Chain A
Amino acid sequence: MRIRAFPMTMDERYVENIWSLLKNAIQEIQKKNNSGLSFEELYRNAYTMVLHKHGERLYNGLREVVTHHLESKVRQDVLASLNNNFLQILNQAWNDHQTSMVMIRDILMYMDRVYVQQNNVDNVYNLGLIIFRDQVVRYGGIRDHLRHILLEMVVRERKGEVADKLSVRAACQMLMVLGIDSRAVYEEDFERPFLSQSAEFYRSESQRFLGENSASVYIKKVEARINEESERAKHYLDESTEQRIVAVVEEELIQKHMKTIVEMENSGVVHMLKCQKTDDLHCMYKLLGRVADGLRTMASCVSAHLREEGKALVNVDESGANALNFVQSLLDLKDRYDTFLGKSFVNDPIFKKMISSDFEYFLNLNLKSPEYLSLFIDDKLKKGVKGMTEQDIELVLDKTMVLFRFLQEKDIFERYYKQHLAKRLLLNKSVSDDSEKNMISKLKTECGCQFTSKLEGMFKDMSISNMLMEDFKNHIQTSGTSLYGVDLSVRVLTTGFWPTQSSATCTLPLAPRNAFEVFRRFYLAKHSGRQLTLQPALGSADLSAIFYGPRREESETKEKADGPSSSTPTSASANGPRKHIISVSTYQMCILMLFNTRDRLTYEDIMNETDVPKKDLDRALQSLAMGKPTQRVLVKSPKGKDILPSSIFAVNDSFTSKLHRVKIQTVAAKGESEPERKETRSKVDEDRKHEIEAAIVRIMKARKTMQHNLLVSEVTEQLKSRFLPSPVIIKKRIEGLIEREYLARTPEDRKVYTYVA
């Protein structure tokens, strides 16, 4: 007896029957005749087949049926419509196919779940897709035609003609679905040719656009096209294409031609900069920002132009140079580019950095920049600045600080600033202590205390001197000491704080000399260990003067001019003696007082008797004798603009002025003369030597040993806020320190230094 298992196998006939049933049903579905079918029955039959291990048969059968239908019916229909509503027919076929496949899948769901899973084959729906794809969509003629039609639609659209967007969209979606889990079908059958056709299209578009020869027009057109393609992709191709097609447009229209656009004559970046076209620049910025290196291309063009503009401003020749204009023009330039930075370049750090480095570059091309900057600030801190409120000045000074930051030789600036500050303080020209102190605190923020401590010392000296004068006045009153008729005012400067002057002395007239002696005794009694040296170059004097001659324009009769000791009543009549107070420098006082005892003096006489250094003497005499008529207190003969040793000077008795108090302006050179500048420079170089050595010693003391290159770069780093030392100079200083036995080379490695305690 044989026990058999439950008959799981069916006989062949039975299977055949089931299959026929199903096959028929499938075909009806495909013919859209599904209404008469029973879902339940069909499902059950399929279930049975699969259960009895006939899944494979069912699967293969399915494949056959579907293939046959698509091949012989659907494909033919589509082919027939190639020139007649192709897309619509195709789409219709597709929709029908999807619908029937859904139904077929539902019937065969058990097979999907069991057989398909177990055998790792495509599920029913996907099988349908594959067959549709291979038998219909990718069938030779259909495939080509589909591609052709779709591309043609795009071409038409680009020309601005109407196209059947919905059909195109449906077709694209179909292709996407046919890729099953990838977009490969869409990509191969449509997108790739689409992109390559688009590339060609835009290649010639670019030529067309360029032909218009206007960068701003080009940019606008590109933007328009990008938007268009974006929209197209979003709305009726597949969304995923958007990024790709935009990339193509960017490549063809922007990337390949960005240099041309940027550098286009009369419309490119340079033109936009020159004509302040901030909006156009912004459009270009946005556009070029789309491609790699686009912004860099633009930035380097802007940079080149800025450097040119900067260089032109900075390379003013000697004679035309005016510190105020120099600095003002640079401030204006900075303002312009800051506007561009803000409005056109949205504060992009690339551009910000580039502008800064450009300014640093050309500002330092002119070696007098530090001096000019200081003169500019000096001008704004002096009394009599016209047309600017306090806030205006504050603003300008802040902007000037921005330029200051770009200076490489800040130590030179410091030197000039001290000089100019000294003049302002001593000649009482500052607008206010507050604005001075404000400026100093700005500098302190930038440069640290070392820079400003001496400046603050200068202020202290001024206030101490004021107190000193109070004491002195009291002292004079209480002790009844004579000051020889001189109303004396002394300012005592601490040597270390103030800029060093060549302490040239001159021969003071008797009265002031004696008066000063009184003060000197007074001061040294208070501070016995100190030494006082008179600095005639910085002093000033008010002289009371009487002119006896007739007014100007009348004939001259020379008479003695009286000094301060005699007093003759003033008469208001035109021919009477005229009293004035003349404000002069100390040197000028020495000169003028000579004429109390002499009518006329030669240049040589004056030089011998006053001992004023030649340069200053010339300047003083020029101001007194060769300035404006309202300033000409002396006359020189022979007339002419040269001062010779034989020139003769005398009081200008016809001197007249509407003002009672006449200030003699010094024929001042704004800024230094060449030899003065050389002297300043050599002083700066001396200072730098010390600063470098101090830095070296400081670093070596901390580190004990250090390799040569490291030491050089550390030193440079430490000093860069003041100036930029070259490696050769640093090396020389190191050698100097070796010689003086502060450092030594290590015996093992001559490139390594060690600190000698």
Chain B
Amino acid sequence: MDLGEDVSSLFGKRSKTSSNSTVNRSRTKGAEEAPTIFNQKKCIAWFRQYSTPSSPDTIGPEGVEMFCRDLNVEPENIALLVLSWKMGAKQMGYFTLQEWLLGLTDLQCDSLAKLQAKLNYLHSLLLDSSHFKSIYRYAFDFSRDKDQRSLDIETAKAMLGLLLGRQWSLLNSFFQFLDQSRYRVLNKDQWCNVLEFSRAVDVDLKNYDVDGAWPVMLDEFVEWLKVNRGESNIQ
């Protein structure tokens, strides 16, 4: 029962690590402590701990939950988002085998311990602004309902809180604005522009360019904020 070869034949092409695994088989078996070279078969076996027999190539929400518990990380922890991004996971709450392998191979982790050791690294990716932007944009597609084009507002708020909670002081104001507005979803353009806004516009809104091609929602947010701060005459 050579799982490695079964799976790789499914994918139809050899991954880079397949040659490694043949070497590995002769050397280590079941060793977890010593820093070993990445073993794809092991990785897949690890995957199977969380998938169900009825859908062996997909980890569902319960599996993900278990995975998080084992990893000692809350599901809302942003590291999980970064991991999903690494995997290119399409849908929040689900990992396919392909995604799993892609991400964990990149991280060179085939065991919980190794992954735990990489958690800090995952967090550090957020500090790089272009990685962060990529992760941020990814978060939209990741968290939306696949038959909708837009992200419902509650999920959006949750994700925004996760991503921008510590770095954008206007986030709470933005939430208040959304609550009192008629907006029930956020589309991708609006989502991406919120990040730009948080980076480009000062808290006092003085450098907000009305002709700056911001989405109408953000124009309205600025207007609302000004009124609320008593800076605007418009009722």
List A residues at the B interface (Cβ < 8 Å): 708-709, 728, 731-732, 735, 738-739, 745, 750-751
Closest to A731 in B: B216
Closest to B196 in A: A750
Set of chain B residues within 8 Å of A745, measured between Cβ atoms: 189, 192, 213
Smallest distance from the beta carbon of A269 to chain B beta carbons, Å? Answer: 36
With A745-B189, A750-B193, A750-B196 known as contacts, the answer to whether A739 contacts B149 (CB < 8 A) is yes
Set of chain A residues within 8 Å of B187, measured between Cβ atoms: 735, 738-739
Structural contact, B212 and A735, CB atoms closer than 8 A: no
Structural contact, B216 and A728, CB atoms closer than 8 A: yes
Structural contact, B213 and A738, CB atoms closer than 8 A: no
Max chain A C-beta neighbours (<10 A), residue from B190, B196, B215, B219 = B215
Query: Within the assembled complex, what's the spacing in Å between the Cα atoms of A745 and B150?
Result: 17
In the complex, besides A731-B215, A731-B216, A739-B188, 6 extra interface pairs with C-beta distance below 8 angstroms are A708-B211, A731-B213, A732-B216, A739-B150, A750-B193, A750-B213
Q: CB-CB contacts of B184-213 with A at 8 A, as 1s and 0s?
A: 000111101100100000000000000111
List B residues at the A interface (Cβ < 8 Å): 149-150, 187-190, 192-193, 196, 211-213, 215-216, 219
Structural contact, A751 and B213, CB atoms closer than 8 A: yes
Set of chain B residues within 8 Å of A708, measured between Cβ atoms: 211-213
> Could you list 15 A-B pairs, sorted by A, with CB under 8 Å?
A708-B211, A708-B212, A728-B216, A731-B215, A731-B219, A735-B215, A738-B187, A738-B189, A739-B187, A739-B189, A745-B192, A745-B213, A750-B196, A751-B212, A751-B213
Smallest distance from the beta carbon of A735 to chain B beta carbons, Å? Answer: 6
Smallest distance from the beta carbon of B210 to chain A beta carbons, Å? Answer: 10
Max chain B C-beta neighbours (<10 A), residue from A708, A745, A750, A751 = A750
Smallest distance from the beta carbon of A705 to chain B beta carbons, Å? Answer: 13
Query: Within the assembled complex, what's the spacing in Å between the Cα atoms of A709 and B211?
Result: 7
Smallest distance from the beta carbon of B136 to chain A beta carbons, Å? Answer: 14
Max chain A C-beta neighbours (<10 A), residue from B149, B189, B211 = B189
Set of chain A residues within 8 Å of B212, measured between Cβ atoms: 708, 751
Query: Within the assembled complex, what's the spacing in Å between the Cα atoms of A739 and B149?
Result: 8
Closest to A729 in B: B216
Q: Count of A-B contacts with CB under 8 A? A: 33
Set of chain A residues within 8 Å of B213, measured between Cβ atoms: 708-709, 731, 745, 750-751
Smallest distance from the beta carbon of B182 to chain A beta carbons, Å? Answer: 13
Closest to A732 in B: B216
Closest to A749 in B: B213
Smallest distance from the beta carbon of A97 to chain B beta carbons, Å? Answer: 77
Contact of B189 among A728, A735, A751 (CB under 8 A): A735
Set of chain B residues within 8 Å of A732, measured between Cβ atoms: 216
Set of chain B residues within 8 Å of A739, measured between Cβ atoms: 149-150, 187-189
Smallest distance from the beta carbon of B139 to chain A beta carbons, Å? Answer: 18
Set of chain A residues within 8 Å of B215, measured between Cβ atoms: 731, 735
Query: Within the assembled complex, what's the spacing in Å between the Cα atoms of A280 and B34?
Result: 108
Closest to A738 in B: B189
Closest to B197 in A: A750
Query: Within the assembled complex, what's the spacing in Å between the Cα atoms of A745 and B187?
Result: 14
Closest to B212 in A: A751
Smallest distance from the beta carbon of A603 to chain B beta carbons, Å? Answer: 42
Closest to A745 in B: B189
Smallest distance from the beta carbon of B211 to chain A beta carbons, Å? Answer: 6
Set of chain A residues within 8 Å of B192, measured between Cβ atoms: 745
Query: Within the assembled complex, what's the spacing in Å between the Cα atoms of A751 and B149?
Result: 23
Which 8 pairs from chain A and chain B are nearest by CB? A708-B213, A751-B213, A738-B189, A739-B187, A732-B216, A731-B216, A735-B215, A709-B211
Query: Within the assembled complex, what's the spacing in Å between the Cα atoms of A164 and B142?
Result: 105
Smallest distance from the beta carbon of B190 to chain A beta carbons, Å? Answer: 8
Smallest distance from the beta carbon of A161 to chain B beta carbons, Å? Answer: 66
Closest to B217 in A: A735
Smallest distance from the beta carbon of B219 to chain A beta carbons, Å? Answer: 8
Query: Within the assembled complex, what's the spacing in Å between the Cα atoms of A422 and B213?
Result: 43
Closest to B187 in A: A739
Smallest distance from the beta carbon of A476 to chain B beta carbons, Å? Answer: 56
Query: Within the assembled complex, what's the spacing in Å between the Cα atoms of A524 and B150?
Result: 46
With A708-B211, A709-B211, A750-B196 known as contacts, the answer to whether A735 contacts B216 (CB < 8 A) is yes
Smallest distance from the beta carbon of A366 to chain B beta carbons, Å? Answer: 25
Query: Within the assembled complex, what's the spacing in Å between the Cα atoms of A113 and B187?
Result: 97
Query: Within the assembled complex, what's the spacing in Å between the Cα atoms of A750 and B195?
Result: 12
Smallest distance from the beta carbon of B231 to chain A beta carbons, Å? Answer: 20
Set of chain A residues within 8 Å of B149, measured between Cβ atoms: 739
Smallest distance from the beta carbon of B12 to chain A beta carbons, Å? Answer: 31
Set of chain B residues within 8 Å of A709, measured between Cβ atoms: 211, 213
Closest to B150 in A: A739
Smallest distance from the beta carbon of B11 to chain A beta carbons, Å? Answer: 30
Query: Within the assembled complex, what's the spacing in Å between the Cα atoms of A750 and B219?
Result: 15
Set of chain B residues within 8 Å of A735, measured between Cβ atoms: 187, 189-190, 215-216
Query: Within the assembled complex, what's the spacing in Å between the Cα atoms of A732 and B189?
Result: 12
Set of chain B residues within 8 Å of A750, measured between Cβ atoms: 193, 196, 213
Smallest distance from the beta carbon of B221 to chain A beta carbons, Å? Answer: 14
Query: Within the assembled complex, what's the spacing in Å between the Cα atoms of A728 and B215?
Result: 10
Closest to B193 in A: A750
Query: Within the assembled complex, what's the spacing in Å between the Cα atoms of A123 and B212?
Result: 76
Smallest distance from the beta carbon of A707 to chain B beta carbons, Å? Answer: 8
Smallest distance from the beta carbon of B129 to chain A beta carbons, Å? Answer: 14
Set of chain B residues within 8 Å of A728, measured between Cβ atoms: 216, 219
Closest to B133 in A: A747
Closest to B215 in A: A735
Smallest distance from the beta carbon of B217 to chain A beta carbons, Å? Answer: 8
Query: Within the assembled complex, what's the spacing in Å between the Cα atoms of A709 and B210?
Result: 11
Smallest distance from the beta carbon of B140 to chain A beta carbons, Å? Answer: 12
Query: Within the assembled complex, what's the spacing in Å between the Cα atoms of A560 and B150?
Result: 67
Query: Within the assembled complex, what's the spacing in Å between the Cα atoms of A751 and B196?
Result: 11
Set of chain A residues within 8 Å of B193, measured between Cβ atoms: 750
Set of chain A residues within 8 Å of B188, measured between Cβ atoms: 738-739
Query: Within the assembled complex, what's the spacing in Å between the Cα atoms of A514 and B25?
Result: 88
Set of chain A residues within 8 Å of B216, measured between Cβ atoms: 728, 731-732, 735
Query: Within the assembled complex, what's the spacing in Å between the Cα atoms of A738 and B211?
Result: 18
Set of chain B residues within 8 Å of A731, measured between Cβ atoms: 213, 215-216, 219
Query: Within the assembled complex, what's the spacing in Å between the Cα atoms of A708 and B213?
Result: 6
Query: Within the assembled complex, what's the spacing in Å between the Cα atoms of A745 and B215?
Result: 11
Query: Within the assembled complex, what's the spacing in Å between the Cα atoms of A731 and B215?
Result: 7
Closest to A734 in B: B213
Query: Within the assembled complex, what's the spacing in Å between the Cα atoms of A738 and B219?
Result: 17
Query: Within the assembled complex, what's the spacing in Å between the Cα atoms of A735 and B150?
Result: 13
Set of chain A residues within 8 Å of B219, measured between Cβ atoms: 728, 731
Smallest distance from the beta carbon of B5 to chain A beta carbons, Å? Answer: 41
Closest to B213 in A: A708
Query: Within the assembled complex, what's the spacing in Å between the Cα atoms of A732 and B218?
Result: 12
Query: Within the assembled complex, what's the spacing in Å between the Cα atoms of A745 and B219?
Result: 17
Closest to B188 in A: A739
Smallest distance from the beta carbon of A747 to chain B beta carbons, Å? Answer: 10
Smallest distance from the beta carbon of A731 to chain B beta carbons, Å? Answer: 6
Query: Within the assembled complex, what's the spacing in Å between the Cα atoms of A732 and B213?
Result: 10
Query: Within the assembled complex, what's the spacing in Å between the Cα atoms of A738 and B216?
Result: 13
Set of chain A residues within 8 Å of B150, measured between Cβ atoms: 739
Query: Within the assembled complex, what's the spacing in Å between the Cα atoms of A738 and B215?
Result: 11
Smallest distance from the beta carbon of B141 to chain A beta carbons, Å? Answer: 13
Query: Within the assembled complex, what's the spacing in Å between the Cα atoms of A470 and B153?
Result: 63
Smallest distance from the beta carbon of A741 to chain B beta carbons, Å? Answer: 9
Set of chain B residues within 8 Å of A738, measured between Cβ atoms: 187-189
Query: Within the assembled complex, what's the spacing in Å between the Cα atoms of A725 and B187?
Result: 24
Max chain B C-beta neighbours (<10 A), residue from A708, A709, A735 = A735
Smallest distance from the beta carbon of B151 to chain A beta carbons, Å? Answer: 12
Query: Within the assembled complex, what's the spacing in Å between the Cα atoms of A285 and B193?
Result: 58
Closest to B189 in A: A738
Query: Within the assembled complex, what's the spacing in Å between the Cα atoms of A81 and B219?
Result: 88
Closest to A750 in B: B196
Query: Within the assembled complex, what's the spacing in Å between the Cα atoms of A745 and B190?
Result: 11
Query: Within the assembled complex, what's the spacing in Å between the Cα atoms of A739 and B217?
Result: 14
Max chain A C-beta neighbours (<10 A), residue from B149, B150, B189, B213 = B213
Smallest distance from the beta carbon of B41 to chain A beta carbons, Å? Answer: 40
Set of chain B residues within 8 Å of A751, measured between Cβ atoms: 212-213
Smallest distance from the beta carbon of A402 to chain B beta carbons, Å? Answer: 36
